Chain A
């Protein structure tokens, strides 16, 4: 839990600093929008977390997010390019496709003993291509479909905005179920055992292939759920939606304490990790410094939006560096103590040792 606590403190400090710099950060509109963003990222971060804890990786999630939205747009949009069918057809088909993608990749990885990286890399490109083909390189709008309510509506309307947007509600359900499955069921125990030692799990009679396959189904399935939310949030689908999203999720999971070697990580950590990723994103827009220039004209200094990736990359690197440095400092302190003792005793006793003979 050390990692979870550390990253939580970092998140908290960031939020306080942003609030001081710009009180609008916690204004209802921005806070709700950030909550929605954290929720949508968090949903599929928990999915990929299952895969990462077994020691695998799923690079296809961003493409799955995109494809789900594209399928819904194709089937259910009444605007140009859409077929105008019911959402009750579009959404189940999209989610079904996501689950099938996860199952297919999972089976390839476990049955043919292929490396998860390369299978899901292939999946990522293939699925992206399917999305592109469906939208014919263009954009399908949802128009003013009631579907958009899914992202923008919610419970407890205050002013124009809901206190509890639907994506956040879905996220809370995913958190509850994810925590339960990962930390309180036999399946979750097996996920950790496989990540800790795949061979020993096999020799203990665990059906490793089935458990692993299921983690890819969960990952793609939650990618699909997130994809539904993103589609409603964006309101129109192009091939570009979801590009590189898997990297955000992997970063969030690792920030939250998952190890890419497997065997480590918690749902709580993934939630906090997703929070950090989105608060940084939002913070780059919100952060400001008020000052008066030479002519006593009040001005506001803001971060350049072009720096977004620099800042996110730096935060990820400093988090893992910091974590490793803490480990190394602890180890070095032990060694130094031993080394000092050795040097001291050598220094004292060398004088009484007989003079060195020629070797």
Chain B
């Protein structure tokens, strides 16, 4: 199809190829963006989205292919060149200095023509900042410290920063991943407004509903290759997923729920007062069940899990594990009772990245892999090998440093270290975040198998499909309170969403 248009492509990338040692990250990928268009870029993790965007942002040079910005060929050799071309990349992890105020952040690196010695004209900066802020609907004094802002407001500061350098192309990488639904709505409003101002927007997100709601067009990548484009009118969730995974998602994606009736309570939580929560939490996890925890970011699920795991101490209430009192003061105490946590942020809390797969696997259980405190490396390696085999972790060797593994395989290392220790209660906080579909399905299968073995699994998840697909029952939280516990029969997206957003539902109590 040759499209002759009076509206030339604002950006065109054609036949882009990028190789890294041992892997072709992008092969022959093309992408175009028009002014006043919202283009969503979709693909599983590892599909090449971030590499493509890093090329646009000037962090990588492509090995082959051409880029044209505003119709002119461009070689984006660095971040400053990208900026000069009017390309602004807003990272998932926001790049703001929390110790400076909004105006200082907006103009950071762009304070004026005078170099380092110039006097900052705060009055002018604040006035300009205020104008930019009103464009993104941020009604705060420009002198507000960024550390006081919510994540949603910080996002707006990033956008204002992009506008301050007259960006014509704004790339947003998972902007809603840590926003509340209200903040997301606000963001969408601003995105539409920018679109109307003829700015081109590349939107990267894993959330189907958002993508369908927002995009004019959707480009799908898979395994570093271009799969195709979908126009808004023709796009459906099923079509996108089919393009992303190369197959129709069937119900096999989630393993069938086991039919064994759940057993007696393993972990009974009674009035547990988590620091920062307005009231105590009460629920119990049964032997062989997967108890889902649904809620928005900030609803207090992770904090509750950390209290159960002994990272933070409860301010009140009691817990009972297998009939005996359970009040862990440290993770060690929890681990000694068979309660394990695979944390939400596995790089920060779950793994020692510069250490090997074997060393990470053995870390919580060194007593077993040592005699009189002396390391017993052969036994450590044997167990690590066994876990790598069981979970089918893709690693060249158990001596490989985990920093070199992909997200899915890193998560398997976290799981392996706990599975090697016979869990009683396994807490999985966002077990499949940032993991590709293949590894996801495998992790789901393992979870189902573990539940069948009689382990109680507490699963925190922000992925509604995952919550409904995997859980036997679901605890729904809102603003650090338990709003309801839904039994398996009444697990619908609608009922969970109602409770998650704080509305009460007469029938929700269980």
Interface string of A28-49 (1 = CB under 8 A from B): 0000000000000000000000
B334: A residues at CB distance < 8 A = 205
Given contacts A192-B355, A197-B352, contact A205 B364 (CB under 8 A): yes
Query: Roughly how many angstroms separate A264 CA and B401 CA in the complex, as a whole number?
Result: 13
Closest to A359 in B: B70
Does B175 sit at the interface, judged by CB under 8 A? no
> A192: which B residues are within 8 A, CB to CB?
352, 355
In the complex, residue of chain A having the shortest beta-carbon distance to the beta carbon of B62: A342
A250 part of interface (Cβ distance < 8 Å): no
Would you give the 0/1 interface string for B392-429, flagging 1 where the beta carbon is closer than 8 Å to chain A? 00000000000000000000000001000000000000
A204 contacts B363, C-beta separation under 8 Å: yes
Question: A202-B331, A205-B331, A207-B330 in contact; A357/B64 too (CB < 8 A)?
Answer: no
A contacts with B, residue count (CB < 8 A): 38
Check A184 against B61 for contact (C-beta < 8 Å): no
B75 contacts chain A at the CB level, 8 A cutoff:
yes
Q: Is the CB of A204 within 8 A of B71?
A: no
B370 at the interface (CB under 8 A from A): yes
Other-chain contact of A184, B335, B349, B366, B375 (Cβ < 8 Å): B375
A335 and B61 within 8 A (CB): yes
Chain A residue nearest in CB terms to B369? A186
Q: Which residue of B lies closest to A180 (CB)?
A: B374
Q: Is B145 an interface residue (CB 8 A)?
A: no
- Contacts A204-B363, A205-B335: A359 and B72 contacting too (C-beta < 8 A)? yes
Say yes or no: is A201 at the interface (Cβ < 8 Å to chain B): yes
CB pair A359–B8 under 8 Å, yes or no, is yes
A353 contacts B72, C-beta separation under 8 Å: no
Q: How far is the CA of A353 from the CA of B311 in the complex (A)?
A: 60
Stretch at the interface among A113-121, A311-319, A343-351: A343-351
- B71 contacts across to A, CB distance below 8 A: 356-359
A193 near B355 with CB under 8 A, answer yes
Closest chain-B Cβ to A130's Cβ sits at a distance in Å of 35
A353: B residues at CB distance < 8 A: 66, 68, 73
Q: With a CB–CB cut-off of 8 A, which chain B residues contact A207?
A: 330, 332
B331 and A204 contacting across the interface, CB-CB below 8 Å: yes
- For the residues of B in contact with A, the DSSP-based class is mixed
Q: Does B63 contact A (CB under 8 A)?
A: yes
Residues B352 and A338 in contact, CB atoms below 8 Å apart:
no
Chain B residues within an 8 Å CB radius of A204 = 331, 335, 363-364, 417
CB distance from A3 to the nearest CB of B (A): 14
Q: Which residues in chain B, 211-250, are within 8 Å of chain A measured between CB atoms? A: none
Residues of B within 8 A of A188 (CB): 375
- Segment 35-76 of B: residues with Cβ below 8 Å from A: 60-66, 68-73, 75
Set A202, A338, A356, A358: member contacting B61, Cβ < 8 A: A338
**A200 on the B face (CB < 8 A):** yes
B260 CB within 8 Å of chain A: no
Residue of A nearest to B35 (CB): A359
Q: Tell me if A321 is interfacial: C-beta within 8 Å of chain B.
A: no
Is B373 at the interface (CB under 8 A from chain A)? yes
Q: What is the minimal beta-carbon distance from A325 to any residue of chain B, in angstroms?
A: 20
- Residues of chain B within 8 A (CB-CB) of A199 are 348-349
Is there a chain A Cβ closer than 8 Å to B21's Cβ?
yes
- On whether A187 and B66 interact (CB within 8 A), knowing A203-B341, A342-B75, the answer reads no
Cβ proximity bits B331-367 to A, threshold 8 Å, 1 near / 0 not: 1101110000101000011111111000100011011
* Chain A CB within 8 A of B207 CB: no
Residues of B within 8 A of A185 (CB): 370, 373-375
A9 in the interface (beta carbon within 8 A): no
Query: Which single member of B18, B61, B68, B350 contacts A200 (CB below 8 Å)?
Result: B350
| Min CB–CB distance A132 → chain B (angstroms) | 39
Contacts of B370 in A (CB 8 A): 185-186
Chain A contacts for B84, CB-based, 8 A: none
Please name all residues of chain B whose beta carbon is closer than 8 Å to the beta carbon of A327 when the two chains form the complex.
Answer: none
Q: B19 on the interface (CB 8 Å rule)?
A: yes
Residues on the A chain within 8 Å of B70, using CB: 359
Q: With A and B bound together, what is the CA distance between A356 and B66 in angstroms? A: 13
- 10 shortest A-B CB distances, which residue pairs? A359-B70, A196-B352, A205-B332, A357-B71, A205-B335, A204-B364, A197-B352, A204-B363, A345-B64, A186-B366
5 pairs from A and B in contact (CB 8 Å cutoff): A203-B349, A338-B63, A341-B63, A356-B72, A356-B73
Given contacts A200-B348, A203-B349, A343-B75, 14 further A-B contacts (CB under 8 A): A188-B375, A193-B355, A201-B352, A201-B363, A202-B311, A203-B309, A203-B331, A205-B331, A205-B336, A339-B61, A342-B64, A356-B68, A357-B8, A358-B71
Chain B residues packing against A (C-beta within 8 Å): 8, 10, 18-19, 21, 60-66, 68-73, 75, 309, 311, 330-332, 334-336, 341, 343, 348-355, 359, 363-364, 366-367, 370, 373-375, 417
